[in-house]
Structure 1
């Protein structure tokens, strides 16, 4: 075999090849597994294509193993899947496809291995290895995908307009693989993406966002995001991000290009964290700037309140992109809302109260917020960046000191709403909220320490002002 496989993989492939032979089928390893093995990348997803019934072959192969793995299959798509010793194995019959201009749903007919390779998205994903007894292990590479791996380029098996018009998601995949692998998209393919970008409208948002998230998860997300922008694809599904681009100059004063600033912040964040949602917070941290941009005479460009606007935009963007409407979205919105706060604490004479409030508002997400804020320090002036980062380190030290002293991050009110209702014999009401807020604000402002006795004394005083008395008094 032209690729290096583990003993488990060799056993699996020889079993599949032998069963295909008994069933009178040709059978091949194809796609990402072959590509990644050639490139020395880890992979656990195996795609098998056969000339005939892929579902029947999957069932027959699974039946030969002692533990008889469960086979999931989809008759409409002609695909089947099982797991074998930690390896995901998918079977499909070789097919050829033809598309109507208005639809992504192809007319599918049985085909040869050559037909199947022609319908693949990229040459590097059209590589196949025979599992047949007469040429077991032979690489089948009709489009020089192996050469493209060596040259580190992205090309399509067919003329690119045909490939992309047939299945417009392939444009997103071409950019995603360029970003993941560090390959260059050849000019004719990139120009074809630009020409066909409007075809992306017939693809479901869920599939587009799945590719976008894979780009966001790459070591350097800016590569793929910049390709999406320059190709025009980003405008098709995420115009709010495109609106960040460009520089406007008035009276000789210009603001920075917030699109490319955002890409730098995402890359800075990615260098410190693999968390996809923290990277999304980096992507959206300045999303409110276009709506708040204003030129002020004698001062220059301002973006006052862009963090508040960005926080409000986040749920709408998540809905638009079919991202989760759950705690992930709330986490991103929270970081967008808070992303200026730590930077503001680098100024002199910042009180412990301001530190406490940031600790309280950020809570368990403080470390992620600090990563985002540090990543947001970008400038071509190295001395300026160095000075900002040094100031930021001082803020981190102050935050640690205040947290150790006041235990605000994991703060639970020393007197809860339930306690207040029990003490005064009242039900849920505006008065309970006022008393809770009074205690919280006093602790955050440093008026009283974060303990029960001080909070209880303050509670009684405030309750007296409100004509409330404890039960039994």
Structure 2
């Protein structure tokens, strides 16, 4: 009985049940089947996983339908005849089925020519040894780990290595270069020396990969527990210069008259790591990555003072839109959040260097809105000094800013605030049409409230409006 046979990987009762049904279906169809790839790897590493890949020496779509029927009457099977693949979703598991394949590549494309193959052919085409391991679902050796390239040993060694020659592996499918770095970053593994050399020599091949696929891998690197590992490997491999050249502009330290500035590239990597310790939000991590992106364009040496980067926050904010467009990142609210945080990231810092006025606090609350906590998180992540005394002082200053933000917010309710007198009210009061005068009056009310000249009430705002309108010889029509 299959159910009595042990598996060489730890599985839950639900996972064992599914595998047994797959094994039985494969037996009835007379096709050898295997569990292969990331599920096997992650189980051996003790990582959570819900994606099973099943390869069979036969028709994967037919096997998927038979498994779907065995799991229940209403289990849908998604299949793609063109690619010979199928998917079954059952509870929280997503199970992919495909026939064993042999692949060959053309120089100008990463899309292989595919023919039916054996399990050995299928394992040979895998990107890395740790992803080529399989668990047999055949009667004869059910549950046995099939590991022709010593992937298990590479897991122990924490090593990313290709099953076949790395030069050929990365030339055939250049996206594997990004995947190697992504796995190194996610798993905190090392890329084998010859494999990394092959990535460097094949870096230009990444240009044949679609931007969407590159960005997908880049985002997975950004979501790893320590993104700097992958970002630094992208830089050292030569890939970053091709896929994200603006980051390369931040590399290095320039000296003049004995004065230098910090390496903004490695400072940025540290900021990304810092914020990643506190959030898994991809877009806050992107804000950390881009917070100093405007520095190369604003770098200037001022005699007697040193290096300055005046206005890099504003320049960086403008660059965000172009970068998101080029990388095919979302251009809606996610991009606007990153842009806002880049533009505002110096504001809380400036508040720690002067007497904090209520006006300055109001303006920060007004401009940041509901993203004030995200902004403060970014500012705290921006502290990368090795001097513990300085770090302690900076954090204490930011805590003071947080306290004042809370006090002013509770008093003035200014976050996400809109002036109590709207543009429509102004037009109705003075019989005006939309235009500059309406905008000027509305802005005057807003500035007066933010500066604390008048309270945040309708009565005070309306009285101020009448005063300002009188200066323009406007009189109410109602």
- Report the TM-score range of the alignment, normalised by the length of the smaller protein: over 0.9
2:17 is the alignment partner of 1:11: yes
2:45 is the alignment partner of 1:39: yes
Listed one character per residue, the Cα deviations across residues 258-291 of structure 1 (whole Å, up to 9, x for unaligned) are 0000001101111111110000000000001111
Structure-2 separation of matches of 1:175 and 1:322: 20
What's the counterpart of residue 69 of structure 2? 63
Structure-2 separation of matches of 1:258 and 1:67: 58
1:325 Cα shift? 1.0
What's the counterpart of residue 440 of structure 2? 434
What's the counterpart of residue 329 of structure 1? 335
Structure-1 separation of matches of 2:416 and 2:299: 37
Match runs of 1:12-411 below 5 Å: 12-411=18-417
1:300 Cα shift? 0.7
Between 385-394 and 153-162, report the one with greater CA deviation.
Answer: 385-394
1:66 Cα shift? 2.2
DSSP-derived class of the 1:356 partner:
helix
Number of aligned residue pairs: 472
Structure-2 separation of matches of 1:330 and 1:464: 38
1:381 Cα shift? 2.1
1:389 Cα shift? 1.6
DSSP-derived class of the 2:446 partner:
helix
What's the counterpart of residue 3 of structure 2? none
DSSP-derived class of the 1:72 partner:
strand
Structure-1 separation of matches of 2:409 and 2:332: 29
Structure-2 separation of matches of 1:2 and 1:411: 60
Listed one character per residue, the Cα deviations across residues 64-119 of structure 1 (whole Å, up to 9, x for unaligned) are 22243211111221111120111001101110111111111111100001100111
Listed one character per residue, the Cα deviations across residues 316-363 of structure 1 (whole Å, up to 9, x for unaligned) are 000111101111001101100001000000023232111111110001
Structure-2 separation of matches of 1:384 and 1:417: 47
DSSP-derived class of the 1:272 partner:
coil
What's the counterpart of residue 460 of structure 1? 466
Structure-1 separation of matches of 2:142 and 2:398: 60
What's the counterpart of residue 448 of structure 1? 454
1:157 Cα shift? 0.5
1:298 Cα shift? 1.2
Runs ≥4 in structure 1, deviation > 4 angstroms?
Answer: none
Q: CA RMSD in A?
A: 1.1
Q: TM-score, normalised by structure 2?
A: 0.97
Unaligned runs of 5+ in 1: none
1:433 Cα shift? 1.1
DSSP-derived class of the 1:287 partner:
coil
Structure-1 separation of matches of 2:244 and 2:316: 15
Listed one character per residue, the Cα deviations across residues 175-198 of structure 1 (whole Å, up to 9, x for unaligned) are 111111111111111111111111
Structure-1 separation of matches of 2:412 and 2:398: 21
Unaligned runs of 5+ in 2: 1-6
Between 70-79 and 239-248, report the one with greater CA deviation.
Answer: 70-79
Structure-1 separation of matches of 2:117 and 2:461: 77
1:380 Cα shift? 2.2
Structure-2 separation of matches of 1:273 and 1:409: 23
Between 269-278 and 412-421, report the one with greater CA deviation.
Answer: 412-421
Structure-2 separation of matches of 1:452 and 1:216: 46
